[in-house]
């Protein structure tokens, strides 16, 4: 990817002891290039950031962008509205449950997969399994939801057909509409889609391990499992911690496997909503479907605050425990 290059330390733009103006003039183009980025950044990142103020105001959509600043302050009115909403507990419970279940069940999978692939000596097998396993990462969640609806349906779904034929169940299971199956459905589909992708990162860490280490351990009489335990695992320990911090930091979005919103939106329906409605989908429906912009922004903000706290919290914890952190 990188051409090997050695740049000299001197630069062509600045010479010492020049006025700011002169130096700027010398780098007109680079400054202009950056300015393009700043304009785009301001419009699509920073202006919406100011929009967070809407959560504390009575905002009306007709007042446009300026309305964000001119509308009336209402303090925590919308937050209280949400806390007293009859669905509040249900939504918070679903959000936390889905996020935590995903963390617990999907986080170890890429690590285990990477360790297994690392044990494979036939390179063709390794390549084929890897190539297919991360393919779903590039597929839209819409297609994944479609696959789920095809394979898990009660009348033509292959999974139910197999379960019935093997005598595991008597009646087809309604995976897609029974609320009690939604959490499992969310965990399984996310795992299917993203586990192979995260395996790449652990395998990249393993590619740097010196093969003579394994040979030496073998000569010393360490069996396969001991070699995994003493060589493979320590080699990816650092990566595991970094990835775990990322996963906890993005917990509410669904962690590594992301997509809580897309799953609840695409696989959720009127029938299973008691288990599939989460903070993000609720805010989304309130805001864009029902036009309660301030209320929706308040719920969104609540989630952002929890997320930021989690990022810094997990980083702090990781630093305390293992002396490594992201920042």
Partner 1 sequence: MKRTVEDKIVDFVVYSILAIVFIVTFYPFYYLIIISFNDGVDATLGGIYFWPREFTLVNYETLVVDPKWILAFFVSVARTVVGVILGVLCTSIVAYGLAKKDLMFKKFYFALFIIGMYVSGGIIPLYVVLRSLHLLNTFWVYVIPGMLNIFLLFIAISFFREIPKELEESAKIDGASDLRIFISVVLPISKPVLATMALFTGVGQWNAWLDSAYFVQNENLRTLTYKMMEVIQKANIPIDLQGPGAEYAAKVAQSTPYSLQITAMVISVVPIICVYPFLQKYFVKGATIGAVKG
8 touches partner 1 (CB under 8 A): yes
Site for partner 1 in 194-253 (CB under 8 A): 196-197, 200-201, 204-205, 218, 223-225, 239, 242-243
Under the criterion CB under 8 A, does residue 13 sit at the interface with partner 1?
yes
Residue 31: CB minimum distance to partner 1, A: 7
Name which position in 49, 124, 166, 168 contacts partner 1 (CB under 8 A).
Answer: 49
CB atoms within 10 A of CB 187: 20
Backbone angles phi, psi at 57, to 5 degrees: -135, 165
Instruction: Examine residue 110 and tell whether it contacts partner 1 (CB under 8 A).
Output: no
Secondary structure class of 302 (helix, strand, coil): helix
What are the tokens at 52? Answer: 């967070």
Count of all residues that appear for the chain in the document? 327
Q: How big, in percent rounded to 5, are the helix, strand and coil portions of the chain?
A: 70, 0, 25
Per-residue mark of binding to partner 1, 272-291 (x: CB under 8 A) = -----------xx--xx---
Is residue 323 involved in binding partner 1 (CB under 8 A)?
no
Contacting residue, 138, 168, 212, 320, with partner 1 by CB under 8 A: 138
Residue selected from 132, 290, 309, 322 as contacting partner 1 according to rule CB under 8 A: 132
What is d(CA 72, CA 299) in angstroms, rounded to the nearest whole number? 19
CB 87 within 8 A of CB 286: no
Nearest-approach distance from CB 190 to partner 1, in angstroms: 14
Q: Please give the Cα distance from 39 to 263 (Å, whole number).
A: 33
Q: How many angstroms separate the CA atoms of 194 and 263, rounded?
A: 13
113 lies in the binding site for partner 1 (CB under 8 A): yes
Residue 68 lies near partner 1 (rule: CB under 8 A):
yes
Choose which of 133, 189, 264, 276 interacts with partner 1 (CB under 8 A): 133
């Amino acid at each position: 990817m990188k051409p090997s290059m050695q740049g000299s330390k001197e630069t062509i733009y600045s010479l010492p002891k020049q006025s700011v103006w002169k130096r700027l003039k010398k780098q007109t183009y680079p400054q202009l290039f950056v300015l393009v980025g700043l304009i785009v950044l301001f419009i699509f990142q920073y202006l919406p950031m100011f929009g967070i103020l809407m959560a504390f105001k009575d905002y009306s959509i007709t007042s446009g962008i300026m309305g964000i600043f001119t509308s009336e302050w209402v303090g925590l009115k919308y937050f209280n509205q949400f806390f007293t909403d009859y669905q509040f507990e249900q939504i918070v419970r679903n959000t936390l449950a889905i996020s935590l279940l995903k963390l617990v069940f999907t986080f170890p999978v890429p690590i285990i997969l990477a360790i297994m692939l690392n044990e494979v000596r036939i390179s063709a097998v390794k390549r084929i399994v890897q190539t297919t396993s991360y393919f779903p990462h590039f597929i839209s969640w819409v297609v994944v939801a479609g696959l789920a609806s095809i394979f898990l349906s009660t009348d033509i779904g292959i999974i139910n057909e197999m379960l019935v034929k093997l005598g595991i169940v008597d009646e087809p299971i309604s995976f897609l509409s029974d609320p009690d199956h939604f959490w499992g459905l969310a965990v399984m589909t996310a795992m299917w889609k993203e586990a192979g992708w995260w395996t790449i990162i652990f395998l990249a860490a393993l590619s740097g391990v010196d093969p003579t280490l394994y040979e030496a351990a073998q000569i010393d009489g360490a069996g396969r499992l001991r070699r995994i335990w003493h060589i493979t695992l320590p080699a990816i320990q650092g990566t595991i911690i970094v990835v775990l911090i990322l996963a906890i930091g993005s917990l509410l979005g669904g962690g590594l496997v992301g997509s809580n919103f897309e799953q609840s939106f695409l696989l959720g329906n009127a029938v299973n909503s008691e288990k599939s409605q989460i903070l993000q989908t609720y805010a989304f429906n309130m805001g864009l479907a029902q036009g309660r912009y301030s209320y929706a922004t308040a719920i969104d903000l609540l989630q952002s605050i929890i997320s930021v706290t989690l990022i810094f919290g997990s980083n702090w914890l990781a630093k305390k425990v293992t002396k490594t952190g992201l920042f």
